[in-house]
Chains A and B, each alone.
Chain A
């Protein structure tokens, strides 16, 4: 059995965009909700019933081939900081972290598949991939779902599909979402318009941590809302189409900003660099705001391309519970802000100041006249 410290020691591939283009679409995520037949749903079940459902599910889940040597823990056996770290990594939900006895998390070694047992539904299964990869994520999770179906009696109705605690998840039980970084659409004031259009097609837009959270660091989640009346294929196809359209808008907005107002872009990125390199006290929100711009700088060629990866790893590591775990003790918010600044300075130590005159784009298309 994998230990907590081993599980979270390294960032997952999806966190740093390993092997994928994640400049705009950071991650793709698929969630399937499933329930057991003849067992009360977790929120309604008595303690013994929840425990019984867990005893039925846990061996089946742990026996999955991909869960060999996985991390598998009851939430009651984790400290609140450990649970919070899992939430910050999107491996369990905030709701799941708040649940008591009889709830468990089973997480694959590479953190790309995570199963929540006795969350709002008996089973909430999640697959995460870097970049735009909803299809691949769905296929891997659906295969896992097939395997579980052999071992568990799942609640299914011929008219309503997979039966879920909340009717908003009925049918496919599928929630597909992508995390997008949209700084140029925000800087050029187009974001409201774009997100409104996305909403109109019946897709949901949320902040960094899902439902009811604000957008930090220009990060937005786009996901389907309807789960009944359409096939998984239809849902994924629409979502993919919309996400790639939004990504194209963002790409165009980046190019246009660079063309129309290079001074403004340079100023933003330069200031972000300055603050992050030299701040001694920085709260989460400020850090995310500047990291977002530094990330943009990496993509636009003001900074080396691997700056994007550095920023993505930092996005995860500067969050409150991660800091707490890192320092190994309980800290006041003020102490956290100091440690956060220290980690950021440390990671960006060797990053040279942004090269404002020659962006990568310019290098490619229009050689510097001075050299000629």
Chain B
């Protein structure tokens, strides 16, 4: 498997649970070291998957006494959230993902967006959704020991990931 960042041979496989969603990533030794994957808490996987430049991965904020987390973008804390029941900026939704899921209970008809997607993000959105769906199926196949199907699914996931990396590289290359 190839590294998600530089495309070299990957050795590090990381699985993170973000807001009830399993996110997987593969890295080569060098990239893993650079991103501090040896310390999983210091690595904001979600940030990267959500399209931020890999070079600007933001480390999780240090624990602030009593409040726990602080939004790295706007400085909003969990206490602020509990007090005003509103957020400080869009990135707070990543920082306080678990609390968001709790707040959303009973608030809406569902937990997952099914509406309009900005035209510029459509491709990424569809890919993210498709990968998520395939990974769910893969987990199921493994649980039911259906290894043949699992292998097929794994290949499909890999294909999508490679295509994504390639298209990302082409876009990056075309930048001045």
User: For the complex, is A158 an interface residue (Cβ under 8 Å from B)?
Assistant: yes
Of B6-14, B30-38, B105-113, B167-175, the one contacting chain A is: B105-113
Where chain B touches its partner, the secondary structure class is: loop
Q: Are A229 and B90 in contact (CB under 8 A)?
A: no
Give B23-81 interface residues, CB cut-off 8 Å to A. 50, 73-74, 76, 80
User: For the complex, is B17 an interface residue (Cβ under 8 Å from A)?
Assistant: no
- CA A35 – CA B100 in complex, angstroms? 17
Q: Are A41 and B86 in contact (CB under 8 A)?
A: yes
Give the interface size class of chain A.
Answer: 35 or more
Chain A residues with Cβ below 8 Å from B176 are none
User: For the complex, is B1 an interface residue (Cβ under 8 Å from A)?
Assistant: no
Provided the pairs A157-B50, A161-B113 are in contact, do residues A228 and B119 lie with their beta carbons within 8 angstroms? no
Q: Are B90 and A38 in contact (CB under 8 A)?
A: yes
Provided the pairs A40-B88, A157-B50 are in contact, do residues A229 and B111 lie with their beta carbons within 8 angstroms? yes
Q: Are A149 and B90 in contact (CB under 8 A)?
A: no
User: For the complex, is A358 an interface residue (Cβ under 8 Å from B)?
Assistant: no
User: For the complex, is A231 an interface residue (Cβ under 8 Å from B)?
Assistant: yes
User: For the complex, is A168 an interface residue (Cβ under 8 Å from B)?
Assistant: yes
Out of B113, B117, B125, which one reaches A160, CB within 8 Å?
Answer: B113
Q: Are A163 and B90 in contact (CB under 8 A)?
A: yes
User: For the complex, is A286 an interface residue (Cβ under 8 Å from B)?
Assistant: no
Q: Are B100 and A167 in contact (CB under 8 A)?
A: yes
- CA A202 – CA B85 in complex, angstroms? 21
User: For the complex, is A261 an interface residue (Cβ under 8 Å from B)?
Assistant: no
- Give the shortest distance, in Å, between B36 (CB) and chain A (any CB): 23
- Give the shortest distance, in Å, between B21 (CB) and chain A (any CB): 7
Across the interface, name the chain A residue whose C-beta is closest to B89: A40
Q: Are B112 and A159 in contact (CB under 8 A)?
A: yes
User: For the complex, is A48 an interface residue (Cβ under 8 Å from B)?
Assistant: no
Across the interface, name the chain B residue whose C-beta is closest to A171: B113
Chain B residues with Cβ below 8 Å from A45 are 74
User: For the complex, is A366 an interface residue (Cβ under 8 Å from B)?
Assistant: no
Contact with B along A157-187 (1 / 0, CB 8 A): 1111111011110111010000000000000
Additional 7 contacts, C-beta under 8 A, given A159-B111, A228-B108: A40-B74, A43-B84, A157-B94, A157-B113, A158-B128, A170-B113, A226-B107
28 contacts between A and B (CB under 8 A): A38-B90, A40-B73, A40-B88, A41-B86, A41-B87, A41-B89, A43-B86, A44-B76, A45-B74, A142-B116, A156-B118, A157-B50, A157-B90, A158-B113, A158-B128, A160-B113, A163-B90, A165-B87, A166-B86, A167-B85, A167-B87, A171-B108, A171-B115, A172-B113, A202-B109, A229-B109, A229-B112, A230-B114
The 4 A-B pairs with the shortest beta carbon distances in the complex, nearest first, are: A229-B110, A161-B113, A155-B90, A228-B108
